Structures are given as structure tokens and as C-alpha cells.
Amino acid sequence: MKHRITVLFLACLAGSLFSQKIDSEKLRSLNFRSIGPGAMSGRITAITCDPANPEIIYAGAASGGVWRSRSGGTDWQPIFDAAPTQSIGALAIHPQNPDLIWVGTGEGNPRNSQNFGIGIFKSIDGGRTWQDMGLNQTRTIHRIVLHRDNPDILWVAAMGSTNGPNEDRGVFKSTDGGKTWRKVLYVNDLTGCAELVADPANPNKLYASMWEYRRWPWFFKSGGPGSGLYISYDGGESWTRSTEKDGLPKGELGRIGLAVAHNKPNVVYALVEAEENALYRSNDGGRNWRKTSTDNIGGRPFYYAEIYVDPKNENRVYSLHTYLNRSEDGGKSFETWKGWVIHLDHHAFWIHPDDPDFMIDGNDGGLNITRDGGVTWRYAENIPVGQFYHINVDNEIPYNIYGGLQDNGSWVGPSSIWRSGGIRNSDWQEVLFGDGFDVVPQRNNSRYCFAMSQGGELSQVDIQTGYSVYLKPLHPDKVDLRWNWNAGIAQDPFRDGGLYFGSQFLHYSPDFGQTWNLLSPDLTTNDTAKMHQNTSGGLTIDATNAENFCSIIAIAPSPVQQGVVWVGTDDGQLQLTQDGGRNWQNLSGLLPGCPKGAWIPQIEASAKNAGEAFVVVNNYRLNDWAPYLYHTTDFGRSWKRLASPSNVMGFCLSVTQDPEVPNLLFLGTDQGLHVSFDYGANWMHWPRVSTDEPGGLPCVPVQDMKIHPRDGDLILGTFGRALWILDNIAPLREMARNAGFLSQSFKLFTPQAAILASWRSFQGPRFSADAFYAGANKGTAAQIPVWVKPETPKKTEKTEPDDAADEESDTPRRPGRGGRGDKKAKATVLVLNMEGDTIRRWQTELDTCFSRITWGLDTRGVQYPSRREPNRDQLEPGGGPGVLPGSYKVLVLYKGQKDSTVLQVIDDPRLDIPVDARRENAEAIRSFYPVIEKTKKAYDRLVSAEKTIKLVESQFVNVPDSTKKPILDLGKTLRDSIGVLKNVFFEHEEKKGIQRNPNELSSLLRSAVNRIGESPGAPNGNARLAMKVAEDETTALLARIDALFSGPWREFREMADAVEYSLFKDE
């Protein structure tokens, strides 16, 4: 069979069907900032290395894409961002051709937060471009085996959908490099292939672990008649099932992990889930098995059933589970090899085939590397693949972001930072451990926050000290409370201490969680048939709160009308109260086309209309992958469905409505970000990364979003690539108000307020090298958004592609030059104060589509003496005194057109500097400018004189020697004298080594200005002294220069002017 949906097709679909009104390519130049962090990474599910050069490492993340290091793990870069999914289940590199790389999407760890894929991808150019090679409905691919000798032959272990039956599972084989596929091992529509390994000595001998399993939102079952161990001796064309006759356990089996010893391929290990979980060993290539151990081999086979054998020692076995365990006696006994030294919950492992001391481990917290056999480990803190469930923001300047991550705690960190070195991992503070969920900053006092771990474990935390108070409510009548894995919580918009919290009931605290009241009856279906979480797991019980059900997961109080609260549950109940909980309406049956019992993970209550709300619904947990989003404006009496498979990619996860322009909506799905400018009538998928422009937002699950109420930033909490920020959505707001401006050739938008912030130096190492992570910082310069209409591309003759790889690639590339990248024209920018005075003027190049004009908040400066030729394009020097707080008009002239906007400049809130002091300081700096200008003029006079002397020498070539000799001799003397004078301005350029002279005039001038600016107000004593020294030196030097020009220079000029000469030599 052949399933081939190319990435290029999906890109075209996103740009055409998903929005008929606005071309998504126009948004490509609106760049998100990836701020990380990398301190808490995410689940690493696959690891492989270049067999010819193991310093080249590839790592796949559960929902964070593929990352590559060319430096043995020092530096990392994403290489799969242009793909339509970032969920990685398997990686494989062909041993004969390291440029041939395969990626299987959809992780094979079927927990409640599992991430799903859309098939298998291939690169033939070392990961630069990717081709979609089909198997798009497999959902999860856990292993890829490549034929050792033939690159066109490969096998794929597809686990299939976790959440229901599908036939695209089992073992698939291709003999033509992935162009076509055959399913060569299939049991039933609930059984997938959980492991596939090949005999290193015989590429046609395969071992396959088939696993029957199923997850419901309320229960997980591992095991069934479809599970079993199979062996093929003919490349997968036929298979033999191993049974209890061969030494395996009787009865139903669950997940089976497999490993073959490379140094002795007849030694095979199987980690078998059964009535008694145990490790089995075969010494004859899988024909016969014997049980070797039941202790310390791992207790959660559904989540991890990975075993590995040392390639040089068949008796050294590694078992990956909660801990890393190791056996030195052929699997008879295991010791906990590494506990809490590295993150728990291990899923991926790689051992160097020739140097077993070199190992790489992937776990729920990221990637770790050892070079000494595990004695020491290094954590790769520069792979930002954190999985955020929720995010929130405060109103600090700059604002902070709060969020909780899958198995990586609850954190708070800055959206930007006024310090050199970017947003570092050390800028983030963990406030609570465990699986992290909603972290809510306390309104009006962001020193405190409410943080939660799985199952409703709620605490109030003092972020400064770490002191915490446990707040989880109890029922007054001792009723057992059902708390979801990811329980709903919200602050009361009308009361500082008000807090809503959801079990099956809605709880309310008026006093920061110290006391709790019940605001509702049971708002769920209370279906007792779905409340057996304590027996969930199938063959191996796994009761971890992950299957807690019939519980509240979304709470949305209206910020417009007190007492209006929307509630969503995990069993499909949508409830509304308009009177603070006295009465409730169940609105579930009113959502058109909504499947019964579907998950309602998020509700957005309008900031403008009390009766308006957006409800996110998804049902993928019951094998329904369609997107559902609903909208009401009348308190739920009527609803409109806004998302469907025809206009949105991926199932829905989150939504936010712009509080300023209500028809501007953002929708987060499993496959990225969508935006609508017309209340959801049309959706545009945010343009994906292209191969010719690295960076940008990948197709990653967008689990939560916030629009900052003051700054107008869009903040994304992604489930796989941590946090992203789109600074200032003013251009998008204007598109939602009136997209007609796109036909204009040029337009400015309202900029964010700029801050006269004082910056600190680096925290930690200044020279941090390449293993250090820093998120993209915002800076403090004013950013003025601008639109420039792209010119219609001229028709040109078709040319051949640069290389075959580009021609064959299905990865989207920027079409022509219709977006950014047209030949840049220059714009003239003027900044005026409110009195109409121009205080700054410069020219800048503008990209087409959306870009930003940057202004450093400086005024017109002064030109210092300089050896360099002046920039002819520079309209005036910058770098003058900083502006004062206030309003400024920014006027831009571009291609005969002009537009203007108003920029607000505010003071650093941490500083208490009177405006009058700033003004006095700026005036003091400007008062010194005439001294600098005189020195600049004098220096330029010397440079001009030097050029004149050289010109005279060149022109006097044909003048008789008797006439020109005295003139040229005097010119040489003058050049020497000018050189001496120039050296007073600057040290001689040809001096050997490093020789700094603080007494050279240029240094004295700059030092004086710096001294003035070092403290607010009038110049202090040091500054006045520096000014006097510089002015005295200038006066003395100018006197020497005047003497030169009034004496020897005048004589030189008169002698030269008296000579009559010809440019032609007499014949």
C-alpha cells in the first residue's frame, strides 16, 4: 500500500483552504522569540549517532522535534522544524550512508500525555530537507530498522493508535526506500509492534514484540491475546510466534522489551510483562528462553520497557525504567545504577559500539551523556523541549511567565531581562516539584503564587523564600474528592483573595486558599463505571492519578460580570452559573456536532461581553481526531462551531481572544498555532519554518496561550518546545480591524511603550561558550512595527534547481521572493518631541511584509574625530543623550510616502531619578558638544591638508626638479608635522602590541562625556575635572594647529600656487 501526503501539500493547504482572505506568507516575518527555558527539558524518546562519527548525535523528543549536535553533545540545533509534527518516536541512520536519516513520528510511550505523529519521514541530505514517506495513519512509530547492506530496505514498528482500534499498526516493510509499504506482521486492530530489533550478524533475522493495549480517558489496559514475541528469518516475509513451549510465560502477555548482544548475537534478552513481570534470556538466538530475574527490573512496562546490552559484553544489561538499572551477571540481578543524579523515567539509550563507556540517556527531563561508563553524567541544558500544560503572566515590568511542565515541576521566569547574556536557565525558579500544571500568580502581589502538582496537590508559595502552605481542599462531609491529573483552577477577577478550584465540585476560597466553600453540586456525570483508577493498568497496575475521571478541568470566571462562571469537565459536561453558584445550567447538549463525553480542557470567557465564551473540546482520547471549538454570545443559549477538519490542522488544545479586538482569535492545536481575523469564520495556520530561513515557530502542540493585558504580547505555552513570545500583536490587531491596509504600500503600527531601563552585567559566566543556553531576549530599544507591501515578482525565465535535493524535497521553501527578501529600499526615520522638534534622524533598510524599525532611545549626537571615512548615508550622528520620559512622534518617509505613530517612553520603574535631573544631565552633555565639534573640524582640516600635499606631489610630476624640490621638501616637513598633531588625537596605528593611552585627545573627549552621563543631574566633581582637562588639551592643540596653518602651510600653498604646470610631459 502507499500513503503519501507530502509536507508541501500540507503547507499549501494551510495557506489556501485555511484562510481564503489573507495569505499566510505575509505573517512569516512576524517572528516569535523562543525563550526556553532549557533548565527543565522534556521527554527524550529516541537517540542515535552517526556510525562513522559518533560525535554527531541525533535526539528525538516526545513533542519537541529532532535535535542534532555535531560536537558530541556540546551544542544542539533543531533540524526537523519544517515538518508538520514534532512528535518523535524513532530515529535511524543508515550505517553505510550517514546522510540517509529516517524519522518515525508519534512517541511510543502511551501515557495520558502521549503525543501522536503522522507517519515516517526521510532525509537524504543529512537532515537539511525532509520527505514525507507515508504511513500517515499509524499515529505512533516506536522503532525503525534499516537493512545493514541495502539502503532501500527497512522495517517500521508501528504501535498504532493508543486510544482505539485502527489497522495501521504492526510491522511494515519497504524495499524501495519508502515509496511503497507492505504490512508484513499484523495481529489485530488493537495490537501494535512495541519493539523491533535485527540480528547484527544477519539483517534478515528480526525479533518483533507485538503488544495489545488500549487507553481510555479513565482507564488503561496493557495485555491481551494479541501480545507476543515473533521471530522472522526471511526479512519479515514470514514470522514464528514464541510461546510457553519455548520458555516464555503462560497466559496473556503485555509489553515486551527486546535486546540482542552485538558481540554474541545468539544472546537475546526479553523483558516480558505478564502475570509475573520478568527478564528472560535466550542463548540460542530466540529458540529457547529462560527466566533470569524478576527483581529490580522496572515496574511500569507500559511506559518504559527498554533494555540494552553492552556491545562488548553480553552479560552487562541495562534496564530503563524509573531508574537506570544495570546487571553485570547476564540479567540474574540488577542494581539501581543511577537514581536521582539524573532525571527519572528513562526512555531512550545509546551505547557507543566501540567504546561502551560512552553512553547517552534520554528521559522525562532531557538528555544526559557519560564518557566514563556512568561514573559521571553531563546534562544537556540547551535542548528546550519542555512540555507546558498551562501558563500565566503577571504585570511586573518586565512581566514574568508562570507555568507547569510534564514531570518537570512548576516554574516562574522572565519574559525578558535587563541584563546581558539573554534569558538564562538560572533566571528561572522552580516553585514546586512533581508534574507541574497551572501556576497562578497572586494578583497585586506577585511574590506569591499558587502552584499545583498532579491530582490537585495545591500550595501557595512565597517565591522569594520558598516557604509554602498546603491548600488542597477537603469536603465538609468527608466525601471523596476526585481531582483530575490536571485539575482546573482560576482566580476570582473581582476579589484579590478569591480562588476557584475544581474536583467534581467547584470549590471557592475567599482568603487565598485558607478556607474553602462548595459552590456547586457534582458537575460531572458521576459515572461510577469510570471510577476504577486504582485498578488501571491491565497486567501491571499503574494508579498514579493519570486516569482520575469525572472531574473538573476548566474554570473560567467572567472578568465582566461577577458571579458568571463557566466550568468544563473531562467527561463532557459544560456547566454555567450566573449567580455565583446558586444555580447551574448544563449546556453540554447544545454544542452542535460535539461528541458526547468529550474532554473540555479550556474555556475562554470574553473580556468584553459577559455572555460570550469560547469552549475548546477534544476527543482524541476516544480515537476521534477532529478539532472542535465552540462560541456563544448569549450565555450558552446558542452555539456556533468554529473549528472542523476542513479549516484547522490537528485537534484543539487552547484558545484566546484578543481583549482589544474581539474578532482576533488564536487557536492552539496539536499541530501548531492558528489565527483568525474574523471571529473564526476563517483560520490561517501560522506559517511553518522554511528550509531557507532557519528559526520560527514549528508545528508544535500549543497547550496554552495568553495575551499580556498591558504589553499586547502573545505568549505560547507549548507542549514540547517550551515558551514562545510574539512581541506586540499590533499588526495582527490592525489586520483584524481592517485587512485593507495590506494593499497599502507602507504603514506604521502602534509600538509598545519603550523603557529607559538600566542594564546589569552578566549573571554567571560572561564567556559561556557553546553548551550554555540563553533564550532570545527582547532588549530595551523601541520597536516600531511597519508594513511594506511586497512588489509583484517580475516574470523570469525558469531556471534549473541548484541541486537535486532541493528538487526532491517536500519540505516547504519560501516561494520566490514574494515575502521578505525583496531588494531592500531605505526609509528615512525622524523622531520628534511633542513640541515638534526633530531630535533624531537616520536611514534604515526595510524588509517587505512585516518588519520593525529599531530606535535606541537616543537623541542627535555629535561626530567625534575619527580615522574612518564618514558614512555618507548617515544623516546625522546618533548616540546622543537619552530621551526623557514622555511621548514622541515617529515619522517615516519611504518611497515618496510617509506615515507616523506615537511612541510612549517610560522610566525604569526600579529607579527614582527626577525628570529634571535627567534633563539637566542631557543639557550638560550637549553643552560640551561644541568642544568636540571643534576638535572634529580641526582633525578633518589636518586630514584634508594631508590629501592636498599628496595631490600636489602627484600633480607636479612634470614640473622641473629645480622648481618642485623646495615645495616637495616643505610638503614632507608639513606631513611630518601633521602626523605628530594627529597622534595627539589618536595613538599611532602601527604601534606593536597593545598600547593604550588614556591621555590621547579622543579618549579625553569621550571620557568627559561618559563622566557627565555617569550620574544624573549636573556634572559632579569628577565630570567637571574631566571636562576641563579635555577642553584645556583641545585649546592647546588647536593653537598648535592654527600655528601650522598660519605659518608653514600658508608658505606651502603660496609656493604651490605660483607654479605653472602641465599634466602632459614635453616630447
Give the lowest-confidence range in 331-340, 629-638, 804-813: 804-813
Q: Which of 669, 543, 654 is nearest to 603 (CA)?
A: 654
Do both 316 and 421 map to the same domain? no
Establish if 239 belongs to a structural domain: yes
Do both 907 and 924 map to the same domain? no
The pLDDT value given to residue 860: 96
Packing angle between helix 1048-1057 and helix 915-955, nearest 10 degrees? Answer: 40
Do both 393 and 356 map to the same domain? no
Beta-strand ranges (E) seen in 139-190 are 141-146, 154-158, 170-174, 182-185
Show the cell assigned to 888: 514622541
Establish if 998 belongs to a structural domain: yes
What residue numbers bound the domain in which 304 lies?
A: 7-19+45-379
Do both 51 and 164 map to the same domain? yes
Do both 1004 and 887 map to the same domain? no
User: In terms of pLDDT, which residue wins out, 1015 or 564?
Assistant: 564
The residue with cell 500525555 is: 113
The pLDDT value given to residue 19: 40
Establish if 404 belongs to a structural domain: yes
- Kindly list the distances between the CA atom of residue 104 and the CA atoms of 86, 123, 184, 610, 1033, in Å, as whole numbers in the listed order: 10, 12, 18, 46, 72
C-beta of residue 725 within 8 angstroms of C-beta of residue 716:
yes
Per the structure, how many domains does the chain have? Answer: 4
Do both 936 and 1052 map to the same domain? yes
The pLDDT value given to residue 805: 39
Q: Which of 399, 516, 406, 506 is nearest to 460 (CA)?
A: 516
912, 937, 955 - which closes a domain: 912
* Residue-wise pLDDT tens digits, 894-936: 999 999 999 999 999 999 999 999 999 999 999 999 999 999 9
* Residue-wise pLDDT tens digits, 253-273: 999 999 999 999 999 999 999
Do both 365 and 232 map to the same domain? yes
Give the lowest-confidence range in 217-226, 379-388, 761-770: 761-770
Does the pLDDT value for residue 420 go beyond 90?
A: yes
C-beta of residue 321 within 8 angstroms of C-beta of residue 349:
no
Do both 920 and 1030 map to the same domain? yes
* Residue-wise pLDDT tens digits, 527-570: 999 999 999 999 999 999 999 999 999 999 999 999 999 999 99
> pLDDT band at 729, cuts 50/70/90?
very high
Q: pTM for this one?
A: 0.93
What CATH number should be reported for the domain holding residue 208?
Answer: 2.130.10.10
* Residue-wise pLDDT tens digits, 866-885: 988 877 767 899 889 999 99
The pLDDT value given to residue 823: 55
Between CA 185 and CA 169 the distance in angstroms is: 9
Establish if 651 belongs to a structural domain: no
> What single letter denotes the amino acid at residue 734?
E
The pLDDT value given to residue 362: 98
* Residue-wise pLDDT tens digits, 165-217: 999 999 999 999 999 999 999 999 999 999 999 999 999 999 999 999 999 99
Side by side, the strands of the sheet bearing 457-462 are: 439-441, 448-453, 457-462, 468-470
Do both 208 and 68 map to the same domain? yes
Establish if 687 belongs to a structural domain: no
Does the pLDDT value for residue 804 go beyond 80?
A: no
- DSSP assigned state of 993: S
Give the lowest-confidence range in 322-336, 583-597, 785-799, 877-891: 785-799
350, 379, 408 - which closes a domain: 379
430, 448, 472 - which closes a domain: 472
Establish if 573 belongs to a structural domain: no
What CATH number should be reported for the domain holding residue 747?
Answer: 2.60.40.1930
The pLDDT value given to residue 874: 76
Do both 970 and 1005 map to the same domain? yes
Establish if 87 belongs to a structural domain: yes
Do both 138 and 153 map to the same domain? yes
* CA dihedral sign of residues 970, 975, 976, 977: positive
Establish if 706 belongs to a structural domain: no
The pLDDT value given to residue 989: 66
Do both 105 and 185 map to the same domain? yes
User: In terms of pLDDT, which residue wins out, 977 or 26?
Assistant: 977
